[in-house]
Structure 1
Amino acid sequence: MAKQKKSLPKLLNARYKLVVLHEETFEEKAAFTGRLWSWLTGAVTAAAVLVVLTVILIRSTALREYVIGTSLSSEEREMLTEAYARLDSMEQVAQANDIYLTNLRQVISGQAGETLEDASRQQAQPKNNIPANEPDISVSDDELALRELVESGAPYELPENQQNARTGISSYTFYSPIKGIISADFSAKDQHYAIDIAVKMNEPVRATLSGHVLFASYTPETGYVAIIQHGNNLVSLYKHCASIIKKVGSFVRGGEVIAFAGDTGELSTGPHLHFELWYNGSPVNPNDYIAF
């Protein structure tokens, strides 16, 4: 044992030579000399430096996710789950808003719209080309304001209509938009989704229910048009007006004057009010709910 203890320091202090030779000619290319403890210390130091550099590289780059993985706390996981849930909800809201705006454009042009259920059933089917005779409705400033109003999430359900929303529009008490003589009845067969009421010029036009004004502008075919969004996905339209006194986004009460009857637009044949009522994106006969 004493001889082994004395030989260990002697072994560590012994000098060694590392020679690099050519494989075929055995010509000496390089030579390194040093004590054994120097070689061991250098090897351990180099290994430690390599390990430290590797750890720093992994923790400070994207390799961390593949080697170590993401270690999220319970709060971070909960926040991430809520973020994904909000993203999914926003996608559904965006889809509903797109269908809603499309329906409004179709309502203005006098065509029946589609509901959200109809759109989900048609997603797997190929889209048909739009007929060539369908009018092109460009996006106006009022429609941009309408988009902002819809996307802002402003509530359209009015307190007085919360109970009516459960039983449908038959439980509403409608105001007659104007008094006059019916010159054209509602006819789904003829695609006349309205009641035409012949009146004198500048007769006041009243809102049939409380709601928000979604559209108030001039169109070439139907003149000055006002559209009001009521509760329970109910929309009323007032076309061929002489003028409109309400702005987009304003709240009106049932029976409040919103416009004056006139003879504007290419499709008008005289002073009258073209009144439409739409429920869940489909036209309904106003005669079934309103006494004109």
Structure 2
Amino acid sequence: MAKRKKKKGNEFSRKKSRWTSHYRMVVLNDDTFEERFSLKLNRLNVFFITAISALLLIVLTTLLIAFTPLREYIPGYSNAKTKSTAVQLTKETDSLRQVLATKDEQYNRIKKILLGDLTFEEYESTTAEDSTTTIQAVPDLSPSEQENELRNEVAKVDRYNILNDASVRTEFVLFTPVSGSLTGSFNPEEDHYAVDIAASVGTPIKAAADGTVIFSGWTVETGYTVIIEHAFGLITVYKHAGELLKQQNDRVESGEVIASIGNTGELTTGPHLHFEIWSDGYPLDPSNFISFK
């Protein structure tokens, strides 16, 4: 038993002496063997010096990356300018998404009116509800009810008179879509937001102004129908056609043939053109701006 303890004590002493035994590192001149530098070391000192050096290196590297612009050179790390740009683009994208959603909703409502799926009164009521909701979102800036009514009246008058402005007339002239006899006049009280022009079957129907075809197709009530979007928020509608010559998304010029007179749809009363003009969702009387004779 005493021998085992003595043996273990000898092993521990040997291991300890191995770590604490001193060594000398000497730098000599290769030609003269003159001693230039010497350093007394042991394994324990070397271990501690290496560990402390590694720890200092890690700390310094962390500080450099965290508090200096050097971090921007690390692959995959975005700099402050890039982050700021990304945040700004995200805000702008969100704003554009909201604007597009609003425009799409308004466009779908107008399209429903033009195709007969939504009455003009229903459109006005839903628009008024949306306006009220938007105003209530900022309570501190909410105008009074009288101010809202006045603004709505002024906006409505402006929409109906858009083509009466002299500056607009000089830049925007409506072309007669077809010549013939007026068999139906503009009458909002009876939900007739158009004029009806009688003409022979096959007579060319022409675009009233430059624009883009946003609908070209068939509906049960109005037959072959073309809807064109123009400048200044104007939309023209051509219903009961016999043949369509333009497709959706086609660009058309003023006076260009887009269809021909027909007698299609359940609501037709004979060969004629049902012609409508809309300004920002409000109907206009075409006979105020175009001579159909």
What's the TM-score, normalizing by structure 2? 0.59
Q: Structure 1: any 5+ residue segments left out of the alignment?
A: 1-29, 127-163
DSSP-derived class of the 2:238 partner = strand
Partner of 2:93: 87
DSSP-derived class of the 1:95 partner = helix
Partner of 2:179: 179
- CA shift at 1:291, angstroms? 1.9
Alignment of 1:114-133 (within 5 A): 119=130, 121-123=132-134
Cα separation, partners in 2 of 1:52 and 1:187, compared to 1, 3 Å: farther
CA distance in 1, matches of 2:239, 2:194: 10
- CA shift at 1:240, angstroms? 0.8
Partner of 2:209: 209
Partner of 2:279: 279
Give the counterpart letter for 2:79 in structure 1. L
- CA shift at 1:167, angstroms? 4.0
CA distance in 1, matches of 2:167, 2:267: 36
Alignment of 1:1-40 (within 5 A): 33=16, 34-35=19-20, 38-40=43-45
Q: Larger deviation: 164-173 or 213-222? A: 164-173
CA distance in 2, matches of 1:51, 1:283: 78
Alignment of 1:131-150 (within 5 A): none
CA distance in 1, matches of 2:131, 2:53: 61
CA distance in 2, matches of 1:45, 1:178: 95
CA distance in 2, matches of 1:166, 1:118: 33
Give the counterpart letter for 1:239 in structure 2. K
1:221 paired with 2:231, answer no
Partner of 2:79: 72
Relative to its length, the structure with more helix (as a share) is 2
- CA shift at 1:268, angstroms? 1.8
CA distance in 2, matches of 1:287, 1:237: 14
Cα separation, partners in 2 of 1:174 and 1:46, compared to 1, 3 Å: same
- CA shift at 1:206, angstroms? 1.4
DSSP-derived class of the 2:226 partner = strand
Cα separation, partners in 2 of 1:57 and 1:192, compared to 1, 3 Å: farther
CA distance in 2, matches of 1:167, 1:119: 31
CA distance in 2, matches of 1:97, 1:107: 15
CA distance in 1, matches of 2:290, 2:86: 51
Cα separation, partners in 2 of 1:183 and 1:71, compared to 1, 3 Å: closer
Partner of 1:244: 244
- CA shift at 1:44, angstroms? 4.3
1:270 paired with 2:270, answer yes
CA distance in 1, matches of 2:217, 2:136: 35
Partner of 1:253: 253
CA distance in 2, matches of 1:223, 1:58: 75
Over aligned residues, Cα RMSD in angstroms?
4.2
CA distance in 2, matches of 1:51, 1:222: 83
Q: Deviations over 1:151-181 (max 9, x none)?
A: xxxxxxxxxxxxx999446973222222223
CA distance in 1, matches of 2:61, 2:240: 74
- CA shift at 1:235, angstroms? 0.7
Partner of 2:114: 108
Give the counterpart letter for 1:46 in structure 2. A
Give the counterpart letter for 2:182 in structure 1. I
8 Å CA contact retained: 2:214, 2:229: yes
DSSP-derived class of the 1:208 partner = coil
Q: State percent identity of aligned pairs.
A: 30
Partner of 1:195: 195
8 Å CA contact retained: 1:165, 1:231: no
8 Å CA contact retained: 1:96, 1:116: no
